[in-house]
Chain A
Amino acid sequence: MESKFKINAAGTWHETADLAWRMNEYDEYAVEQAVQLKEQVAGADLTVLCIGPERVKETMKKALAMGCDRGFHVADDAAQTKDPLQIAAIIAEYAKGQNFTMIFTGMQSQDRGSAQVGVLVAEMLALPSITTLVGFSYTDGTITAKRELEGGVKGLLTVKAPALCTCQLGLNTPRYPTLPNIMKAKKKELLSVPIQDLLKENARQETARMFFPEKKGGGLVLEGDVADLADRLIRILKEKTTVLA
């Protein structure tokens, strides 16, 4: 999702028209890690799940083209009104009884950034969860992982599958789907169910207001011809700093 936001009439979210939509960046690392694991473990089967309106199927098709086997879409035109606990409850409701060996999520979404959903899903399913991973390997059911801490320090962890991992930027190098794989993905199963079938929890929180951060001002904004901008910037650097002295 990019740039130019307009607040909606109710003042509680942004308009969704005229925005470019794409897969959550953190989820790209999650999909890639899951696909790599599927390639490593013989006979693995990989499902991608996404909650949202019809348009999220585009993102799911990308995940299928990256190597997921099937898609499970939870159709919800009002996903923005669901809080992290509800989103997690939907996923857990779907996942329970399916005996997934591994669940991968992004460590957070780029828009809401709660960093809660993965951990909540695991807690609901009584699985161990490890978060913010920048390193992952899997051998005979044991996960060896690095989780990122402040300042670039890493925590070294091991845990036994079944488990849930939340993926941080830089965990791997997400692949670009190739044309043949994009074609193949079109034939893969993409099941869609209405959210009512899976949502059994009430919201614990609601958005009262969405707004633009206050401009603190201060800074000078320069616009115009680039050569002219360069001259103006040099003049400012000479006046305000000592770096050109």
Chain B
Amino acid sequence: MKTILVAEYRNGKTLAGHGELSAFAALVGAESAMFLVGNKNDLPAYEGTIYLADVDHFGEFNPDVHKQLLLEVIAGEQPDLVVFSHSSYGWDLAPRIALALQAAQVSEVVAVQGDSLVIPFCNGKLRRAVRSLSGTTVVTLQAGAFTALETPAASPTVVEITTDVSGKITFNGYEAAEQGGVDLSKSQIIVSAGRGIGKPEAMAMIADLAGALGGDFGASRPVVDAGWAEHNRQVGTTGQTVAPKLYVACGISGAIQHLAGMKKAEFVVAVNTDKDAPIGELADVLVVADLKQFVPILTEKLRAL
């Protein structure tokens, strides 16, 4: 079996996720080569061939052109699997490749079971084992699902690649994440509100509990998108990454993008009416209760200590 691993480069740096791609290739027992639109002075630690296109020439984000570069590598290598991270770069580029190859794309793979690839369903409430019916299969891997192997100093063989295709999308640079306000990454105690709080007024209850514990309050994405909390309080892949001593998740289901931001917490308490909520997988304690009743009582009792 043969794979092409698609590494990523952003804001002048090669991203670390390629280690997980290599781990996946090793797990399925495949030979691999890597593809990167990057910089020859910042190569991934990888033992093998890297097909390298010069980022200064082809840009960090240029889907039409990256597609063409990768398709040419695929035409030469004839891989069984084309492997991406399930990242903003990966889920954008992968379907373009899948269609060009008329191949199955299996998104957000978390495990391999025999001839099937396991993917989440409904934000991790269920799992689905999927079988590809096409010769080549495109996959994207969930971040963190395959643990990167330790790569000692590696010396990849670089093959420089190029194309004269141009793209229809113009990339005009980056806008930094919103700054200012609280920095939850340093908080020791965080109480977070999820969609389960039901209405904006309930934020006060969450802030009160955080106050009683001497900590800060955070939020899941829907709470921020609804404007009930500031963006700098959002915990997760597109928000803050936190590592407090105590994390209390109130009315948060435990979607992977949220878990990615708080899984380093030392102790996790979840308050949820649903005993089967995926957050239960990570929580040290799952309190099965309506937060509207439970949170005020807990706050009162903590204040009385």
Chain A 128-149 interface residues, beta-carbon cutoff 8 Å to B: 128-132, 146-149
Q: Does A14 lie within 8 Å of B246, measured CB to CB?
A: no
Q: Does B285 lie within 8 Å of A233, measured CB to CB?
A: yes
Name B177's contact: one of A120, A152, A207, A211 (CB within 8 Å).
A152
Q: Does B213 lie within 8 Å of A221, measured CB to CB?
A: no
Q: A159-B170, A213-B126 are in contact. Are A205 and B64 (CB under 8 A)?
A: no
Q: Does A209 lie within 8 Å of B105, measured CB to CB?
A: no
Q: Which residues of A contact B284 (CB under 8 A)?
A: 218-220, 240
A-B contact count (CB 8 A): 245
* A168–chain B nearest beta-carbon distance, Å: 9
Q: Does A234 lie within 8 Å of B301, measured CB to CB?
A: yes
The DSSP consensus for interface residues of chain A is mixed
| Contact string against A for B residues 56-83, beta-carbon threshold 8 Å, 1 for contact and 0 otherwise | 0000010110000000000000000000
Name A152's contact: one of B121, B189, B231, B246 (CB within 8 Å).
B231
| Contact string against A for B residues 192-236, beta-carbon threshold 8 Å, 1 for contact and 0 otherwise | 000000000000000000000111000001101101000100100
Q: Does B224 lie within 8 Å of A146, measured CB to CB?
A: no
Give the docked Cα–Cα distance between A113 and B130 (Å).
13
Q: Does B88 lie within 8 Å of A230, measured CB to CB?
A: no
B264 interface hit (Cβ, 8 Å)? no
Selected interface stretch from B21-29, B35-43, B95-103, B150-158: B95-103
Q: Does B170 lie within 8 Å of A157, measured CB to CB?
A: yes
* B276–chain A nearest beta-carbon distance, Å: 8
Range, interface on chain A: 35 or more
Chain A residues near B (Cβ < 8 Å): 1, 3, 5, 14, 83-85, 107-108, 110-116, 119-120, 123-124, 128-132, 146-160, 169-170, 173, 202-213, 215-216, 218-223, 226-227, 229-231, 233-234, 236-237, 240-244
27 A-B pairs in the complex with CB atoms less than 8 angstroms apart: A108-B91, A116-B105, A119-B96, A128-B169, A148-B88, A150-B87, A150-B237, A150-B238, A151-B238, A152-B234, A156-B172, A156-B175, A158-B169, A169-B221, A205-B134, A207-B131, A213-B278, A219-B283, A221-B285, A223-B289, A226-B289, A226-B290, A231-B301, A233-B287, A237-B267, A240-B284, A244-B305
Chain B residues near A (Cβ < 8 Å): 10-11, 61, 63-64, 86-88, 91-92, 94-96, 98-100, 102-108, 116, 119-134, 167-178, 188-189, 213-215, 221-222, 224-225, 227, 231, 234, 237-239, 245-246, 266-267, 269, 274-276, 278, 280-290, 293-294, 297-298, 301-302, 305
The 8 closest A-B pairs by CB, nearest first: A152-B177, A204-B104, A170-B225, A119-B95, A205-B104, A128-B168, A156-B172, A115-B91
